């Protein structure tokens, strides 16, 4: 657990300045409480001893104004630091997921991934806000109390020793609560999965009358989560009670010292110091009251960090070359004896496949579902790597080229190309963020949508809706095609681009596609041809090998 938390802290190093500012202000805020009650205690002690204490009472006024300001500054600085660190962590985790799951979440359910992206990363704020800050502030308070009472060593020991013991509670509690926190994190992931998965497939859920079963699973997952949270809360409550008990022992220690000292030193001096000790114990109680509960926060942050790193440390499907080769000037693609299997136990999808895709050539690749057509695209994009043979781009082995540079050469339109819940312009600019409006209008004209978009009140700023719900299926497909045409990529791969369209819409779309892709190297992956396409070659994928189509 502590190794995972140390790794989180290392991720936050770029925000170190903000984190240190938050810690510094938290220490000042805690010490202001000590100073406030120290002055009050000193005034009362002097009043008990000799009827004085006016100066201490006078100094209370500015301190009473400074204390609220420091509390406000602590909240502002610490939360600003935490928000910046968590934002960095979320971006880091997204990038790690993109590198390790480029083909999609697959067996990692969307609900569980969402839980890790949101709930687990949010839990990490406990490491800073509810663990590090209270612990550092409490340590500063204990040291301040020991220094202020140093004139009476036994009094300092009687007050500071229980307070120091309270500082160790979070670490003891964190180790004890680690397993409970792991169960809470897993249970929250199950709740997210049980809630989100049926919603993502809501049509199937409703058509099968399965909403009752989905609700029952969600109820079971929620009850399990609440049970795990209750067990963790009991441990946190135990730590809080132990911390409260130790704070009371500090008060009792001050009183015990006063009683012991009174026997041999007269009444005034020990009573005055005892009053000061009591005020110091009260000053420390506020900060130390939070320290034991920091153990539960530490355990939760450790469990969340472990879940994040478990997923983020998954090996990427294709390793980047240690020393990348220079990108070639040409873009002819060759598959040379390529063999590939997603699961060796289920046999190879491609077996000794040979393919040459020359510059400017338009190839139609036919085959039934499951024949491995889409696998060719996955290999081209370096989302997977062949187990035998090699793939070259411009004569250079794809394995020696950086994935980002290879993908910049290839534009794709897949059968499940997603239109995001953003404007038309934002959807088009995904692969070309700097493209001017003129370029957007050009590709919209190529796919026959320019007039439609101009007629919309918001034009390019028109929201597409989730999944392109603002538009018909054919219109959404054309937006996806326009997005693929926008980058100046010489290679264009179209994987079942008419999937889900009716026959009339499909034919119209393919006519647009034919005109819009002239001059590019095109690989059309489909299970059949309609007659609208005009490929230079037609190949059929059978048994993991490519054969010329016979008609």
pLDDT tens digits for 41-97? 666 655 545 554 454 555 555 666 777 888 888 889 988 998 899 888 888 888 887
In the predicted structure, residue 426 carries a pLDDT above the cut 90: yes
Output Rg (C-alpha) for the chain, integer angstroms.
33
Q: Find the length of the chain.
A: 551
Residue-level pLDDT at 107: 39
Residue-level pLDDT at 291: 67
Q: Which of 113-127, 222-236, 242-256, 330-344 has the lowest mean pLDDT?
A: 113-127
Give CA–CA dist 532/528, Å, rounded.
Answer: 11
Give CA–CA dist 280/522, Å, rounded.
Answer: 78
Closest of 113, 120, 116, 125 to residue 86, by C-alpha = 125
- In tens, the pLDDT along 265-282 reads 554 456 667 777 777 777
Please report where in the chains the tokens 């029952």 appear, as a residue: 216
DSSP β-bridge partners for residue 463: 423
In the predicted structure, residue 457 carries a pLDDT above the cut 50: yes
Q: How far is CA 314 from the centre of its chain?
A: 15
- In tens, the pLDDT along 500-523 reads 667 777 777 777 777 777 778 889
The residues spanned by each domain of the chain are 2-186+230-312, 333-548
Mean of pLDDT over the chain: 80
CATH number of 333-548: 3.40.50.300
Mention every residue, 6+ apart, whose C-beta is less than 8 A from residue 466.
421
Q: Structure pTM?
A: 0.70
Q: How far is CA 61 from the centre of its chain?
A: 46
Contact (CB, 8 A) for 296 and 232: yes
Give CA–CA dist 133/290, Å, rounded.
Answer: 10
**Residue 335 banded pLDDT, cuts 50, 70, 90:** very high
Between residues 354 and 549, the one the model is more confident about: 354
The CA angle 408-411-415, to the nearest 5 degrees, is 140
Question: β-strand 333-340 against 362-366: which pairing, if any?
Answer: unpaired
Give CA–CA dist 475/128, Å, rounded.
Answer: 48
**Residue 388 banded pLDDT, cuts 50, 70, 90:** very high
Between residues 66 and 215, the one the model is more confident about: 215
In the predicted structure, residue 488 carries a pLDDT above the cut 50: yes
In the predicted structure, residue 100 carries a pLDDT above the cut 60: yes
Mean pLDDT, residues 292-299? 75
Residue-level pLDDT at 271: 63
Residue-level pLDDT at 535: 83
Give CA–CA dist 239/236, Å, rounded.
Answer: 5
In the predicted structure, residue 106 carries a pLDDT above the cut 60: no
**Residue 113 banded pLDDT, cuts 50, 70, 90:** low
Q: How far is CA 292 from the centre of its chain?
A: 28
Give CA–CA dist 159/257, Å, rounded.
Answer: 9
User: What phi, psi does 354 have (nearest 5°)?
Assistant: -120, 130
Residue-level pLDDT at 267: 47
User: What phi, psi does 236 have (nearest 5°)?
Assistant: -65, -40
Residue-level pLDDT at 476: 87
Mean pLDDT, residues 144-163? 82
How deeply is 117 buried, as exposed, middle or buried, from its count of CB atoms within 10 A (0-12, 13-18, 19+)? middle
Between residues 427 and 502, the one the model is more confident about: 427
Question: β-strand 491-495 against 521-526: which pairing, if any?
Answer: parallel
CATH number of 2-186+230-312: 1.20.1560.10
Between residues 172 and 269, the one the model is more confident about: 172
Between residues 344 and 26, the one the model is more confident about: 26
């Amino acid at each position: 657990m502590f190794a995972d938390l140390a790794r989180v802290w290392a991720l936050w190093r770029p925000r170190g300045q903000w984190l240190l500012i938050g810690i510094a202000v938290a220490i000042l805020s805690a010490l202001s409480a000590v100073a406030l009650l120290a002055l009050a205690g000193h005034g009362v002690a002097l009043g008990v001893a000799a009827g004085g204490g006016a100066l201490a009472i006078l100094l209370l006024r500015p301190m009473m104004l400074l204390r609220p300001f420091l509390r406000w500054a602590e909240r502002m600085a610490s939360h600003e630091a935490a928000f910046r660190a968590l934002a960095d962590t979320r971006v880091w985790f997204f990038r790690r997921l993109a590198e390790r799951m480029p083909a999609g979440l697959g067996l990692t359910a969307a609900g569980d991934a969402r839980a890790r992206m949101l709930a687990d990363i949010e839990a990490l704020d406990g490491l800073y806000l509810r663990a590090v800050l209270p612990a550092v502030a409490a340590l500063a308070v204990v040291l301040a109390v020991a220094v202020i009472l140093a004139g009476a060593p036994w009094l300092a020991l009687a007050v500071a020793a229980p307070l120091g013991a309270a500082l160790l509670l979070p670490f003891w509690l964190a180790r004890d609560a680690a397993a409970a926190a792991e169960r809470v994190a897993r249970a929250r992931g199950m709740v997210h999965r049980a809630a989100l998965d049926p919603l993502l497939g809501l049509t199937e859920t409703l058509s099968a009358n399965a909403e009752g079963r989905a609700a029952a699973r969600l109820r079971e997952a929620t009850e399990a989560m609440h049970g795990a949270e209750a067990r963790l809360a009991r441990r946190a409550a135990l730590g809080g009670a132990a911390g409260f008990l130790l704070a009371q022992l500090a008060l009792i220690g001050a009183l015990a010292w006063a009683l012991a000292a009174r026997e041999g030193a007269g009444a005034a001096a020990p009573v005055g110091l005892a009053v000061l000790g009591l005020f110091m114990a009260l000053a420390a109680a506020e900060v130390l009251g939070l320290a034991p509960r920091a153990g539960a926060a530490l355990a939760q942050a450790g469990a969340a960090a472990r879940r994040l790193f478990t997923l983020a440390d998954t090996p990427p499907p294709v390793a980047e070359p240690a020393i990348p080769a220079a990108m070639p000037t040409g873009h002819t693609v060759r598959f040379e004896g390529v063999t590939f299997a997603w699961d060796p136990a289920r046999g190879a999808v491609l077996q000794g496949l040979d393919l040459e895709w020359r510059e400017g050539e338009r190839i139609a690749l036919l085959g039934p579902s499951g024949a491995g057509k889409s696998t060719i695209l996955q290999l081209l994009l370096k989302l997977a790597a062949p187990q035998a043979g090699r793939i070259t781009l411009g004569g250079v082995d794809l394995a020696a080229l950086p994935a980002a540079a290879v993908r910049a050469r290839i534009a794709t339109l897949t059968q499940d190309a997603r239109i995001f819940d953003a404007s038309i312009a934002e959807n088009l600019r995904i692969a070309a963020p700097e493209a001017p409006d003129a370029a957007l209008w050009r590709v919209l004209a190529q796919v026959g949508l320019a007039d439609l978009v101009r007629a919309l009140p918001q034009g390019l700023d028109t929201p597409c809706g989730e999944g392109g719900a603002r538009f018909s299926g054919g219109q959404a497909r054309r937006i996806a095609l326009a997005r693929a045409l926008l980058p100046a990529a010489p290679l264009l791969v179209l994987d079942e681009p008419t999937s889900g369209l009716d026959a009339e819409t499909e034919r119209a779309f393919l006519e647009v596609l034919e005109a819009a892709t002239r001059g590019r190297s095109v690989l059309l992956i489909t299970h059949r041809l309609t007659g609208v396409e005009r490929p230079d070659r037609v190949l059929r994928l059978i048994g993991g090998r490519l054969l010329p189509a016979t008609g």
